[in-house]
Amino acid sequence: MNLSIPTPSLPEIFRMQLEKALQRLPQNEAKKVEIEVMPCAKEQFGHYQSNLALKLAKILQKPPMEIAEMLEKLLDKGEEIAHVSVTKPGFMNATFAKEALSKRVHALLEDPLLCAARPKSPQRIIVEFSSPNIAKELHVGHLRSTIIGESIARLLAFLGHDILRLNHVGDWGTQFGMLIAYIDKYAAFDTEKSPNLETLMHWYKEAKKQFDADPSFRTSSQQAVVSLQQGDARSLNLWKAICAISRTAFEEIYQLLDVHIEERGESFYNPQLAPMVKELEEQGMIEISDGAKCIFLDGFTNREGNRMPFMVQKSDGGFNYDTTDLAALKHRVLVEKADRIIIVTDLGQSLHFQLLFAAGKQVGYYDPSKVQVDHVGFGLVLGEDGKKFKTRSGETKKLVDLLKNAVVFAQKLVDEKSPDLSQSQRESLAKSLGISAVKYADLASHRQKDYTFSYARMLRFEGNTAVFLLYSYVRMLGIQRKVQAKKTPPLSVTLTHQTEISLGLHLLRFSEALAFAEKELHMHYLCDYLYHLAEKFNAFFRDCRVEGAKEEQQRLLLVEACRKVLQKGLYILGIPTVDRM
């Protein structure tokens, strides 16, 4: 059965009918009121509601309930709205016909895009995330950037945009001069048999101590930076080897997390820095402050009421993060033609990006009416003691250790719950559950708030966890395996039982959840949607028999619609589904 995708959406239908009723009012001022439609807080009142009557109360000088009842009489419900009710203090609630819902669920089932709204004009969007420093291990602080950034990129790609994922790694600057100087003086570095990242980190820590304590070593480090910037062959070879070691370690984690990202470090923009500053000087954008070259920003003032500076070149002639990030912003807009730029870092960098975007706008690198720039900030990961997540020794937790520990924790759970599976099946399942649990626990949290990391909590079979969602998915597969062997003619989705109707309505809200997550760049909205989908499916499983029921085939189609939506939602979150648990 081939059905076209019903448009407009359910909330759009209700909004359009309310608009028609509004235009039938004699007061012109009332016709300009914005109409909002949202899901009903309680399904017993209806499917979608509007507070239009409350908005009109002042204009029409009448009680909201009276206005709502008047609008209800003016409303042409059309073919899909079964009825409209009015509830205090003046809400209008639309309930859609079960036949209309059934048709739309069937259309969703046949649509590979699951009825998600596609953009009229797809955008070129750059998502910058993860962004570790070379010669340092990824730690728990990189967890949120990596997971959130990948999920946002997947969401936007699914919705039809052209996505470039960028890993803006710290691969240039003074720290490399320190490391090269330390290797020259204290360490044997064989590019044929390179040290591992842990050794590099040890060398870096020792180099930092020397840099802070020994003026002669500080001079050597600064000279090494100059040699590197001037293209000295040996310095460049050492730098490339150091980057390669770090890249190998990063890639192990990205593979564990199923993250896909293109590296473009600070070094990429280094040749552009001096010409950019010179160009800004020639255009009169630069002011000197204590010997440093700065852009003084309109709209940003310090405590003394003076405009805040955005430094693009230090007094010693060196460049800094501000310079590199401004060059990156310029390149992404003017060269890569980005329509939107999304940068995912911790909230502690919020002011930096506010100043960066203000500077980019002020010097003309982007026009806010044409290019959208977003800093997607996030809070801290806390230990169960409520403090910043650290190891027992007080050091920042390594991300690779955190992920491997999650797999170990999941292995114990799988061995206990699924002893009938083979050893290799249990190991594969434990790896999938462990990594998925970490990712989902992060994404299900409000990204701007801190959250407490707990293996026990994130691997529960109950509540809003990856394990609960994956278990629900496996249950869907189990129903299909039992029933699909029977050869029967294909039928269409038919929603009759109230639990079926509630589940079908929720399936149709998938596109709304995606649109809201895209607008706010908050992935917990999608997590909440999927959690409620799993809950509603389990209620359906409890109330509506599938195997052997007279509605067996229709209900099997509803199970398949649930499976497709849940699988796609989990994919967007970066979570692979499993076949058995």
Point out the domain boundary residue: 96, 128, 159: 96
Query: Could you identify the residue written with the tokens 């046949």?
Result: 110
pLDDT of residue 557: 94
**Counting Cβ atoms within 10 Å, is residue 452 exposed (0-12), middle (13-18) or buried (19+)?**
middle
Give the start-end residues of each E strand in 404-478: 451-452
Pair (241, 338) in one structural domain: no
Contacts 24+ apart (CB under 8 A), 567-571: 567/473, 568/114, 568/158, 568/510, 569/510, 569/513, 569/526, 569/529, 569/530, 569/533, 570/469, 570/470, 570/473, 570/530, 571/154
CB 377 within 8 A of CB 345: yes
Evaluate whether residue 154 is within a structural domain: no
Pair (271, 249) in one structural domain: no
Pair (34, 55) in one structural domain: yes
What is the distance between the alpha carbons of residues 202 and 211, in angstroms, rounded to a whole number?
14
Pair (40, 66) in one structural domain: yes
Run means of pLDDT, 10 residues per run, the chain, 581 residues: 66 96 88 94 94 94 96 92 96 97 93 81 96 90 95 97 97 88 82 78 91 92 85 88 91 95 95 96 95 94 89 90 96 98 97 97 97 97 85 72 95 94 95 97 96 94 96 96 72 93 97 95 98 98 94 94 97 96 88
Point out the domain boundary residue: 229, 263, 297: 263
CB contact set of 113 (below 8 Å; sequence gap of 6+): none
Pair (194, 247) in one structural domain: yes
pLDDT of residue 489: 59
Evaluate whether residue 233 is within a structural domain: yes
- Residue 164 structure tokens: 């470039």
Pair (257, 333) in one structural domain: no
Output b/e per residue, 482-498; b: 16+ Cβ within 10 A.
ebeeeeeeeeebbbeee
Point out the domain boundary residue: 72, 96, 120: 96
The domain of 66 spans 10-96
Pair (24, 51) in one structural domain: yes
Pair (322, 226) in one structural domain: no
**Is the dihedral angle over the CA atoms 18, 24, 29, 31 positive or is it negative?**
positive
Evaluate whether residue 494 is within a structural domain: no
pLDDT of residue 3: 45
**Counting Cβ atoms within 10 Å, is residue 362 exposed (0-12), middle (13-18) or buried (19+)?**
middle
What is the distance between the alpha carbons of residues 99 and 554, in angstroms, rounded to a whole number?
13
- Residue 356 structure tokens: 């960066």
Residue 10 host element (H or E): helix 10-23
Evaluate whether residue 179 is within a structural domain: yes
Evaluate whether residue 167 is within a structural domain: no
Pair (258, 326) in one structural domain: no
Q: What is the CATH number of the domain that holds 89?
A: 3.30.1360.70
Pair (353, 270) in one structural domain: yes
CA end-to-end span of the chain: 33
Pair (217, 269) in one structural domain: no
- Residue 206 structure tokens: 């020792």
Evaluate whether residue 195 is within a structural domain: yes
CB 573 within 8 A of CB 526: yes
Evaluate whether residue 181 is within a structural domain: yes
- Residue 19 structure tokens: 């608009």
CA–CA distances in Å: residue 61 to residues 20, 32, 57: 21, 16, 5
Per-residue DSSP letter, 121: S
**Counting Cβ atoms within 10 Å, is residue 291 exposed (0-12), middle (13-18) or buried (19+)?**
exposed
Total structural domains within the chain:
3
Evaluate whether residue 229 is within a structural domain: yes
Pair (235, 334) in one structural domain: no
